[in-house]
Amino acid sequence: MKFKYVVVGAGLAGLTIAERIANVLGEKVLVIEKRNHIGGNVYDSYNEDGILIHNYGPHIFHTNDKEVYEYLSKFTQWNVFWHRVLSYVDGNLVPMPISVETINKLYNLNLSTDEVEDFLAKRAVEVPEVTTSKDVAISKVGIDIYEKMFKNYTIKQWGVDPAELDTSVISRIPVRLNRDTRYFADKYQGMPTNGYTKLCENMIANKNIKVMLNTDYKEVIDDIEYEKLIYTGPTDYFYDYKYGKLAYRSINFKFETYTKESYQEAPVVNYPNDYDFTRITEFKKLTGQEHHKTTILKEFPCAEGEPYYPFPTKEHKERFAKYERDMKKEKNVVFIGRLAQYRYYNMDAVVRSVLDAFSEELNG
């Protein structure tokens, strides 16, 4: 087989770069995927009851990047959707992330926006140097809110205390001094009208794109003649673990279907302190689908399994730095995406990074 470009991985990063190669450069590209479907972790499907589910946990598109939004809009229409999350704390459901409404409900108060700013300022802990996720939280909201809403959720999610985690973990969660209870404040938000899998199928609807599923690229790459390899898989696997394995957190997903219209008040409810799962997603509340049954998903974080979240500890960041030095020496390999760059990316950031890499490295 002969292809000018070979892409390893049919997730959002791999499909974006393949689409650009085929439609902008007009070149043939082979995409090799170890799973039995395209789309990576944004893959969605209809379960046996006919309910559209996100097979790898909830994915909500949101961005302030107009170019990324317009790019993806070529492959889907969008349902208007403003994501809202509740957190089960002290027997009550309170809005997440923290806003004026959260504080008032959590403490049975009726504070104004100005009063909440003062309320949090008085409880914030002065930290000489913010170096961990715990530092981030207590410096913003103080010990009590940190312990009610962040500490145990983070321990469940990562298996370690927030005091051992990089600042990036909790820094992603905003604290708002207003009454906005939306989970994201981005300008563009929505759900693809016909689902993420259909969006992905539309991205690669080009005769120049060939997809090989159920295949580990190492099993076939020696039989393929190519000029450039675009790699979106785990970097440690690419280098045969020469510096050791990079750590990831994984998730066990438990889907349950109920014969009733609605299961919970919000699309996602977090459980920081109760139960072993971190959250419950009700998919109909994400997709807007009408059905007499409803499917929910409980997430149980674990150490072993599919690599979902790069583990942001000092040890593994230093290990990745060794791999990164080797990556920079590669002449005909481009590393893109969450796994290859050992970095947590939102969907829009994945697409942004790939569009940039395409412009800089393939379309220069």
Domains (ranges, CATH) in the chain? 5-38+204-245+311-362 (3.40.50.720), 98-171 (no CATH)
The pLDDT assigned to 62 comes to 97
Taking the CA atoms of 146, 84, 56 and 233 in sequence, report the sign of the dihedral they define: negative
Taking the CA atoms of 124, 128, 132 and 136 in sequence, report the sign of the dihedral they define: positive
The pLDDT assigned to 285 comes to 97
**All residues at 6 or more sequence positions from 252 whose CB lies less than 8 Å from its CB, including other chains:** 299, 300, 301, 302, 305
Answering whether pTM is above 0.85, one says yes
Question: Which residue from 238, 243, 250 is spatially nearest to 321, judged by alpha carbons?
Answer: 243
The pLDDT assigned to 167 comes to 84
Average pLDDT, consecutive stretches of 10 residues, N- to C-terminus, the chain (364 residues): 94 98 97 98 98 97 98 97 95 94 95 92 91 91 93 93 84 83 94 98 97 98 96 97 95 98 97 97 97 98 92 86 96 95 94 96 81
The pLDDT assigned to 25 comes to 96
Element at 4 (helix H, strand E): none
The pLDDT assigned to 170 comes to 77
